[in-house]
Amino acid sequence: MIPVTKPYLPSREKLSKYIDGIYERQWLTNNGQLVQELTQRLEDYLGVENLLLVANGTLALQIAYRALGVSDTPPGEQPEAVTTPFTFIATASSLKWDGVQPVFADIDPNSWCLNPANIEAAITPNTRAIVPVHVFGNACDIEAIDTIAQKYKLKVIYDASHAFGVNYKGESLLKHGDAATLSFHATKLFHTGEGGAIIFKRKEDLERARRMINFGLAGPECIEEPGINAKMNELQAAMGLCVLDEMEQISGDRQSVTESYDHLLKGRVQKQRIQSGASLNHAYYPVALENEARVMDLMSSLRESDVLARRYFYPSLESVTSLGASSMTCFESRKLSERIVCLPIYSGLTSAEIEMISSKVLEVCQ
């Protein structure tokens, strides 16, 4: 079976050394030595400050909403956040779970990210935030989004789950917004098995979030506000430290896969238009076909060869009734979600496998 992606497993010997240290210290959680080390190393690697490690990427979003006061509204009012329908369900369900109604605005048909031109029409007196997504690691139009946020005094929380290591105009893309969140799920470009992080613009927001992930405690006998347990543990951090040591190889392998696909599929599929001034991290290889029928033909053909591609992201989230969204259709998102396929990409994918997968794509595109 060729999966759409595969967890990268780093040096077993190095991981064992970290685990030996955990056994010696007998310190498994609560901001242990490895969590502290990974925090510092990630800040250095990514070129950011105010990074907080958490247990997973969904909790990263929820803690960011809470720390920035997005869900803090008077009784009887329903806070809202404008977001994209073309994303993984966690972006919207984390809002809904936290009592914030997601309001969907349509995407740009070329970048596949939230279209700033559609945001203002979705803003109401109850809007508290904009939650854009750097889809497949492609940078949103951050300047336009920032202008709108300032005009309406809204918080901006970027779901940057796909954007690990992406730079924009010479600095980390993760510096933009009031907060940016990362997922370190096992299949991500960088991972800790499960895990996530939040990068805050302001130190005071970081400090509030740090208390929130530890039950709201400011000290052993000082409870400042309601909190939750969202801490990363030492075993997760050990995996992350090992993976971080091998990021150059991981990135190089994925770039090679991307370049091979690009060569074999050039001009035959629609690709995402990358934001000017932004780098690529090669975390995904999405293509859009002519219509949904061709997508289904391709998925069937690939399955016959034990290849698992994925329809990231389907369905368009404004159509998910459990999210309680409006009946308005986001036409561009709906159209793209019917045509999108993510092809396999990971370290260890061979040239022969890439050629076979590409040949299947070309067959349905004839």
**Average pLDDT of span 115-130:** 96
Tokens 């990630």 found at: 42
Predicted confidence at residue 327, as pLDDT, reads 58
**Which range among 4-13, 201-210, 215-224 shows the weakest confidence by mean pLDDT?**
215-224
The answer to whether 173 and 134 have CB atoms below 8 angstroms apart is: yes
Determine what percent of the chain is predicted with pLDDT higher than 90.
92
CA geometry: angle at 57 spanning 312 and 181, to 5°?
95
Region(s) of the chain under CATH 3.90.1150.10:
247-364
In this predicted model, what pLDDT tens digit does every residue of 281-325 receive, in sequence order? Answer: 999 999 999 999 999 999 999 999 999 999 999 999 999 999 986
The answer to whether 212 and 70 have CB atoms below 8 angstroms apart is: no
- How many Cβ atoms are within 10 Å of 321's Cβ, its own excluded? 8
> What would the CATH number be for the domain defined by 12-244?
3.40.640.10
108 pLDDT higher than 90: yes
Predicted confidence at residue 366, as pLDDT, reads 80
- pTM for the whole structure: 0.96
**Average pLDDT of span 40-58:** 98
Predicted confidence at residue 236, as pLDDT, reads 98
**Average pLDDT of span 335-355:** 97
Strands 51-54 and 222-223: what pairing?
unpaired
The answer to whether 62 and 94 have CB atoms below 8 angstroms apart is: yes
The answer to whether 46 and 172 have CB atoms below 8 angstroms apart is: yes
Predicted confidence at residue 35, as pLDDT, reads 98
- In order of 8, 22, 280, the CA distances from 350 in angstroms are 15, 36, 21
- Residue 326's pLDDT band (cuts 50, 70, 90): low
**Average pLDDT of span 230-243:** 98
Q: Which are the contacts of 276, defined by CB distance < 8 A and separation ≥ 6? A: none
Predicted confidence at residue 219, as pLDDT, reads 76
The answer to whether 269 and 361 have CB atoms below 8 angstroms apart is: yes
The CA dihedral of 321, 324, 330, 333, to the nearest 10 degrees, is: -60
Residues that are catalytic: 188
In this predicted model, what pLDDT tens digit does every residue of 151-193 receive, in sequence order? Answer: 999 999 999 999 999 999 999 999 999 999 999 999 999 999 9
- Residue 26's pLDDT band (cuts 50, 70, 90): very high
- Residue 220's pLDDT band (cuts 50, 70, 90): confident
- What is the DSSP secondary structure assignment for residue 272, as one 8-state letter? P
CA geometry: angle at 321 spanning 128 and 310, to 5°?
95
Region(s) of the chain under CATH 3.40.640.10:
12-244
Predicted confidence at residue 74, as pLDDT, reads 73
Q: Which are the contacts of 166, defined by CB distance < 8 A and separation ≥ 6? A: 134, 137, 139, 160, 172, 173, 174, 278, 279, 280, 281
Predicted confidence at residue 325, as pLDDT, reads 65
Residue 327 DSSP SS3 = coil
pLDDT, the chain, mean: 95
**Average pLDDT of span 338-345:** 98
16 pLDDT higher than 70: yes
Q: How far apart are CA 282 and CA 254, in angstroms?
A: 6
124 pLDDT higher than 70: yes
Q: Which are the contacts of 118, defined by CB distance < 8 A and separation ≥ 6? A: 105, 106
- How many Cβ atoms are within 10 Å of 355's Cβ, its own excluded? 12
Right CATH number for 247-364 from 3.90.1150.10, 3.90.1170.50, 3.20.20.20, 3.90.25.10?
A: 3.90.1150.10
Please compute, for residue 19, the number of CA atoms within 13 A of its CA located in the half-sphere on the CB side.
Answer: 9
Q: What burial class does residue 5 get, using C-beta atoms within 10 Å of its C-beta: 0-12 exposed, 13-18 middle, 19+ buried?
A: buried
